[in-house]
Structure 1
Amino acid sequence: MTNKPVRVRFAPSPTGKLHIGGARTAIYNWAFARATGGTFVLRIEDTDPERSTEENTQIILRALRWLGLDWDEGPEVGGSAGPYFQMQRMDTYAAALERLRERGAAYACFCTKDELDAKRAKAEAEQGGYAGYDGTCRDLPADEVEARIAAGEPHVWRLRVPKDHGPIEFDDAVYGHMAFPAEVMDDMILVRTDGSPTYNFAVVCDDANMGITHVIRGDDHLSNTPRQILIYEALGYDVPTFAHLSMILGADGKKLSKRHGATNVEEYRDRGYLPDALVNFLALLGWSLDGETTIIDRATLCREFSLDRITKKDAVFDETKLDWMNGVYIREMDVDAWTASARPWLAAARADGEGVPAGVTVAPTPAKDELAAAARETHVPGEGVSPEVWEAALAATDEAPEIARGAYPLVIERLSRLNEIPAKLAFLFWGPNVMLDEKSLNKVLRKEGARADEALAACRAVLADEDNAWDAESLQEKCRARGEELEIKPKNLFQPLRVAVCGNMVSPPLFESIVLMDRADVLARIDGVADAAFGE
């Protein structure tokens, strides 16, 4: 419908955090602008004074920045079409209303809420339904209107929908040709009694004044589109191209909501997802590159995104797929990127390790359902520890980057989310102490006939010999050789050592982990666990 340079906008309301559905809409607008060499505008629709807050605005801006969605015009950036907060644009709505009045396209309505409610009740009782505003004030004499306004009588301003208007038609970039009968469109309110604009009026004024060429938004706005087109026509403005996006559903086929788990962007950040992975995942909820490619980097998305590849089919939010995709992105990180991204999670692992009681503590093994629930929990770095401990953990992590770099090859292939780091690596920071898993204690160390005490003693002797280099490969080979002398199988030799050092039967590669720790601490752990498992 237009050959103008592309200008798109994302216009969230600061009445809450940035929802996953809103994030996808932002991604599509951003990617379309980048693919077409256009402009991505961020506008804050803050006309709901009771629910819009500065805190929510900052949360939305922070989430967009974390996702890496840079805007060309908007808050903190500026631009020639500002201001970019609706509450700062009231003069533009007043000017648009005056334009409509001059064109005879708007009129004052003095009907009270009680009068309208009574008409609605009567229509529903006698006619089987309410057909909308009946136009009581549509043709009041001009002098009467002016007199009543001058007298201070409360009123709203309504759009005068032409009686002879044919079907309201437009070509949606996703849904194709759409047509709505004009006769079902009543004379909608444009400006309320307090002078504030309604949503449909404000959004049209903003989009027109900001030169928006394409409106890409959720299909929950589809019913608003014919009403907005009527306003565009009444103002004499070009109608933009519309592209309505299908809903995002949970795995149960119902609209994504809190009952499905996390719903806002920062929850996913705090659960250890990478922004590139989340952008990739959300981009594919309704759009595809070629129907086959799953991993799509930002450069490709910004080069190849097009509206004709968006599907009308509702998308299903599959968190298992997101976990897999996030794991792919984690595995593609080099050690420097890993160290930077994992920093708060490594600090959390250090802080968790600081909380381990001195000596050997035997902790009950959680049931499987409890483990599953724990795996779904959000582990926010710093949560549950004092600010002093958290700052110290961050500082220690920065001061000892060799631990982070050493842990990189141990876990990089084993992570689907960064928030798994504390559980996998906290043992590195226990010092001489051990949080011993009860199941591992009984199944490995106290298993009858397993010779766990001999295995642990043999490995300890190798680790204690300071003539042996503190090197993973050589220590493992020397322990293996000692086990062969004692005719202890490798599994029965190394598993007791793993439990003694790491606290349970599952850990990153054992000797690669051991050499990241202090030799004295490793020996102290072995001694403490041996006393707990085999002592009288």
Structure 2
Amino acid sequence: MTEQTAPATTPAPDATPRLRVAPSPTGDPHVGTAYMSLFNLAFVRQQGGRFVLRIEDTDRARFREDSESQVFDTLHWLGLTWDEGPDIGGPFAPYRQSERLDNYRPYVDRLLEEGKAYHCWCTPQRLAEMREMQQKTKQPTGYDRLCHGKTREERAELPGFSETPVVRMLIPDDVPLTFEDLIRGTVSAPRPDDQVILKADGFPTYHLAVVVDDHEMGITHVVRGEEWISSTPKHILLYQWFGLEPPKWAHMPLLRNTDKSKISKRKNPAARLTWFQEEGYLPEALVNFLALLAYPPVIEADGTEREVFTFEEFSDGFDWKKVNPVGPIFDLKKLDWLNGVYIRELDLGDFTSRLLPFLERDEVLSGSPSLGELGRLKAVAELIQTRIAHLTEATALVRPFFVADDALEIAEDARAQLKEDAPQVLDAALETLGDIDDTGTGLLGSESAWNAATIEAALREAIVDGLGIKPKFAFGPLRTAVSGQRVSPPLFESMEILGKTSTLARLRALRDTL
């Protein structure tokens, strides 16, 4: 879809909330992008506002071309959709910072003219040496203002000179360091140093671009991670210098690993938003989980708590004051539990269709399965729906139903658990199952005598009663023969789905190896 173009203008004052999320396309999208989007969107939908997706791509050194489309895909997968953005346009397009470079320069020039910013020609090496010396002598770290008040020629005579300058803010002594936060109340932040606002490559830094873009796009509430608290005084100062009304602030608690460290893509695969798709999580379960990380469960009329809730329920009752400012632990066990709950609640047809991409990926089924294969898959899906917590777990349980009888492999752990009476059990099963009539339509619920109830009754009579083997141990060899695994879907229903011919062939194949 082509982007709608419009001049960057100051939006008219409006009571309608406008919130945004602004990820950087520097790799796989971070789970924090979904976390922030969820809380932004919950408030926007409750208030009838607008949700904006902006791509902050000014970090050209770390820019990755495919990252932007991954942001679009993963947020759409989660149902966290936006009203304006690079892919759909909007009244304040463009929504990529790299396409807005002309917007930032007038703001920089104004600050330079008013003496609120200055050029800095220091090389990276000189800055690194300065920081090292400050740390050694235990001085406050920050730029030492060597370039402030100097002309280019004056600075060129000193060491550590770079031909291409950056532009820095000149932080005044009376910079305000407290602000009101929707989640935390009155917040105090440390004194900032002279922040770079325009890089040597002509791209703005985050600090300038975020203020300019949020103003020009009419953003009323800035919701972001608590790591930006220390930067907020710089942003408030820029709003004041430009004579603009600052937005309301809400700093969300950071997501943390079990050791309380900040969750990062380098150390934790679950920090990658695409990981949850790959691992077979349901998007609605992940949305529910992310909400619970910093927000209380739904309170029922009788006062009991309910942890399973929809986005609509979350949005309807949303209140910034309920957000817990303490950094939540990213507990994947809790997510696994939630995912299992959501899987069990799916309609069977929906559950079956959600399995298909994983079964195709693992080459259990082709990209275009036949109607017969889909019918068999639906019958198997009904057996396993209560037995898995991730969609990826279906592959091992489903595969035995789609391999040729002579291609079924017996897992080593399954073979190792077979006891001395396994040959007797298999012989008894072959004899009794061979007598069951399999004429009819078959496949669970058919009029054929080859059905789970008949199979179970016959096998119990032959093995439990006939051989005197306890039910707990009686059917292990049959399970191994039919599925090749120690753990499988219910045995008698599996035999019904496989049919008499395949079931007997598999029993004989295992018997022949014993």
TM-score, normalisation: structure 2 = 0.85
User: Residue 246 and residue 531 in structure 1: after superposition, are their counterparts in 2 closer, same or farther (change >3 A)?
Assistant: same
In the alignment of these two chains, the number of paired residues is 481
Distance in 2 (CA, whole Å) between partners of 1:161 and 1:107 is 11
Judging by fraction of residues, say which structure has more helix. Answer: 1
- Matching residue within 456, 459, 463 for 1:479: 459
Deviations 1:321-378 (A, max 9, x none): 11110000000001121122111233356x35xxxxxxxxxxxxxxxxxxxxxxxxxx
The Cα shift of 1:263 comes to 2.2
Distance in 2 (CA, whole Å) between partners of 1:332 and 1:273 is 14
User: Residue 473 and residue 37 in structure 1: after superposition, are their counterparts in 2 closer, same or farther (change >3 A)?
Assistant: same
Distance in 1 (CA, whole Å) between partners of 2:422 and 2:292 is 55
Deviations 1:363-412 (A, max 9, x none): xxxxxxxxxxxxxxxxxxxxxxxxxxxxx622126663211221232011
The Cα shift of 1:515 comes to 1.9
1:78-93 correspondence runs (5 A): 78-93=89-104
1:18-33 correspondence runs (5 A): 18-33=29-44
The Cα shift of 1:483 comes to 4.4
- Given that 1:174 and 1:243 are in contact with CA atoms closer than 8 Å, whether structure 2 keeps it comes out as yes
- Given that 1:346 and 1:397 are in contact with CA atoms closer than 8 Å, whether structure 2 keeps it comes out as no
Deviations 1:391-442 (A, max 9, x none): x622126663211221232011111111000111211112223322344435
Distance in 1 (CA, whole Å) between partners of 2:217 and 2:130 is 39
Distance in 2 (CA, whole Å) between partners of 1:488 and 1:415 is 33
The Cα shift of 1:319 comes to 1.1
Which amino acid is 2:248 matched to?
Answer: T
The Cα shift of 1:199 comes to 1.6
1:441 aligns with 2:441: no
Instruction: Identify the residue that residue 460 of structure 1 maps to in structure 2.
Output: 433
The Cα shift of 1:171 comes to 0.5
User: Residue 331 and residue 485 in structure 1: after superposition, are their counterparts in 2 closer, same or farther (change >3 A)?
Assistant: closer
1:272 aligns with 2:280: yes
Which amino acid is 2:339 matched to?
Answer: N
Instruction: Identify the residue that residue 170 of structure 1 maps to in structure 2.
Output: 179
Distance in 2 (CA, whole Å) between partners of 1:220 and 1:250 is 16
- Given that 2:169 and 2:196 are in contact with CA atoms closer than 8 Å, whether structure 1 keeps it comes out as yes
- Matching residue within 493, 496, 502 for 1:512: 493
Deviations 1:22-60 (A, max 9, x none): 321122112221122111111111111121122111122
User: Residue 262 and residue 111 in structure 1: after superposition, are their counterparts in 2 closer, same or farther (change >3 A)?
Assistant: closer
| Structure 1, 228-237 or 481-490: larger mean CA deviation | 481-490
- Given that 2:426 and 2:507 are in contact with CA atoms closer than 8 Å, whether structure 1 keeps it comes out as no
Instruction: Identify the residue that residue 421 of structure 1 maps to in structure 2.
Output: 394
- Matching residue within 342, 347, 361 for 1:329: 342
1:215 aligns with 2:222: yes
What SS is found at the alignment partner of 1:315? coil
Where structure 2 has 5 or more consecutive residues not aligned to the other structure, the ranges are 1-12, 156-161, 300-304, 441-447
- Given that 1:107 and 1:157 are in contact with CA atoms closer than 8 Å, whether structure 2 keeps it comes out as yes
Where structure 1 has 5 or more consecutive residues not aligned to the other structure, the ranges are 146-151, 353-391
Instruction: Identify the residue that residue 378 of structure 2 maps to in structure 1.
Output: 405
Instruction: Identify the residue that residue 263 of structure 2 maps to in structure 1.
Output: 256
User: Residue 463 and residue 396 in structure 1: after superposition, are their counterparts in 2 closer, same or farther (change >3 A)?
Assistant: farther
Distance in 2 (CA, whole Å) between partners of 1:511 and 1:40 is 52
Instruction: Identify the residue that residue 8 of structure 2 maps to in structure 1.
Output: none
What SS is found at the alignment partner of 1:54? coil
What SS is found at the alignment partner of 1:458? helix
1:344 aligns with 2:344: no
User: Residue 243 and residue 344 in structure 1: after superposition, are their counterparts in 2 closer, same or farther (change >3 A)?
Assistant: same
User: Residue 518 and residue 238 in structure 1: after superposition, are their counterparts in 2 closer, same or farther (change >3 A)?
Assistant: same
What SS is found at the alignment partner of 1:393? coil
What SS is found at the alignment partner of 1:212? coil
Distance in 2 (CA, whole Å) between partners of 1:223 and 1:56 is 27
Distance in 2 (CA, whole Å) between partners of 1:529 and 1:450 is 9
- Given that 2:495 and 2:503 are in contact with CA atoms closer than 8 Å, whether structure 1 keeps it comes out as yes
Distance in 2 (CA, whole Å) between partners of 1:196 and 1:241 is 26
User: Residue 325 and residue 477 in structure 1: after superposition, are their counterparts in 2 closer, same or farther (change >3 A)?
Assistant: same
Distance in 2 (CA, whole Å) between partners of 1:136 and 1:440 is 73
The Cα shift of 1:190 comes to 1.8
| Structure 1, 319-328 or 55-64: larger mean CA deviation | 55-64
Deviations 1:282-330 (A, max 9, x none): 1111122447321111221222222211111111111111111000000
What SS is found at the alignment partner of 2:507? helix
| Structure 1, 110-119 or 204-213: larger mean CA deviation | 110-119
- Given that 2:430 and 2:508 are in contact with CA atoms closer than 8 Å, whether structure 1 keeps it comes out as no
The Cα shift of 1:268 comes to 1.2
Which amino acid is 1:335 matched to?
Answer: L
Instruction: Identify the residue that residue 380 of structure 1 maps to in structure 2.
Output: none
Distance in 2 (CA, whole Å) between partners of 1:83 and 1:28 is 24
1:109-124 correspondence runs (5 A): 109-110=120-121
TM-score, normalisation: structure 1 = 0.81
Distance in 1 (CA, whole Å) between partners of 2:370 and 2:342 is 23
Identity of aligned residues (%): 36
Distance in 2 (CA, whole Å) between partners of 1:77 and 1:63 is 16
Which amino acid is 2:404 matched to?
Answer: G
What SS is found at the alignment partner of 2:475? helix
Which amino acid is 2:330 matched to?
Answer: F
Distance in 1 (CA, whole Å) between partners of 2:48 and 2:145 is 46
- Given that 1:463 and 1:523 are in contact with CA atoms closer than 8 Å, whether structure 2 keeps it comes out as no
Instruction: Identify the residue that residue 225 of structure 1 maps to in structure 2.
Output: 232
- Given that 2:43 and 2:318 are in contact with CA atoms closer than 8 Å, whether structure 1 keeps it comes out as yes
Distance in 2 (CA, whole Å) between partners of 1:398 and 1:317 is 41
Distance in 1 (CA, whole Å) between partners of 2:476 and 2:141 is 76
